[in-house]
Amino acid sequence: MRARAGLLTAAVASAAVLAGGAPAQAADSYRYWSFWEAEGSGWSYASQGPAAAKPDDGTVIGFRFAVSEDSGDAASPRPRTEFAKVCGDTSKGDGKRVALALDFGKGNDAPAGERPPKPRTECAQVPEDASAAEALAAVAEPLRYDSDSMLCAVEGYPAKGCGEQVSGDGGGKGGAADSDSADSAGKEDDGGLSSGAGIAAGAAAVVILGGAAAWQARRRRS
């Protein structure tokens, strides 16, 4: 997500400059899985993708499905978990133990016709050199990735789609209602999932539209 969130932010800023400082419009959001690392009693947006991150024994990580504009707007996993509570009964063995919080999001984050499973925690017992992605696969298959290695589905949810653009105020359309409003906003640490075409393409479209607006304005002045 670092490359994509940075591109999205830069694109929005560039569009505003190219459009001659026009009033900001409602930003488009994207529906995707984000990757988090426990930090104290809360969560920090991961600084690298789950395939690259190699958590140590005793680490707590989280995955959250939601609609958001970028990493600064992202919702963190809701399960408040401690390693001892999740993996306390699991022996280390020859590898390591990683506690995972899996949050499938709210109903209004869900694609049309789908209902998210309830959030839960799992303890993955994996080889010492296993990545966060391998820890996730150990407890939440099937996983689905796109051609750019972006995580699209955890335990088969959602059944389709991957990082698609959602227009409007960032709320998902067509999903079941969900009254839980206790989400915490993500920190502005870039990172998380691998770059994907969906959000990058959306950001590029913002730049293109901004450039067209500036070009038209110059023609009118001349």
| Distance separating alpha carbons of residues 65 and 163, to the nearest angstrom | 10
pLDDT at position 183 is: 41
Residue 160: is it exposed, middle or buried by C-beta count within 10 angstroms (0-12/13-18/19+)?
exposed
Residue 213 has pLDDT above 50, yes or no: no
Transcribe 161-209 into DSSP letters: --S-EE-SSS--SSSPP-------BPPS----SPP-HHHHHHHHHHHHH
pTM of the model as a whole: 0.68
pLDDT at position 27 is: 67
φ and ψ of 87, to 5 deg? -115, 10
Q: Convert the pLDDT of each residue in 37-60 to its tens digit.
A: 999 889 999 999 999 999 999 999
Residue 168 has pLDDT above 90, yes or no: no
Q: Where are the domains of the chain?
A: 27-190
What letter would DSSP give residue 25? Answer: P
Higher pLDDT, 182 or 60: 60
Contact predicate 193/32, CB 8 Å: yes
Kindly report the number of other CB atoms within 10 A of residue 222's CB atom.
5
Q: What is the mean pLDDT of residues 195-206?
A: 34
Q: Convert the pLDDT of each residue in 68-119 to its tens digit.
A: 988 888 999 998 789 999 999 999 888 999 999 999 999 999 999 999 999 9
Q: Convert the pLDDT of each residue in 106-155 to its tens digit.
A: 999 999 999 999 999 999 999 999 999 999 999 999 999 999 999 999 99
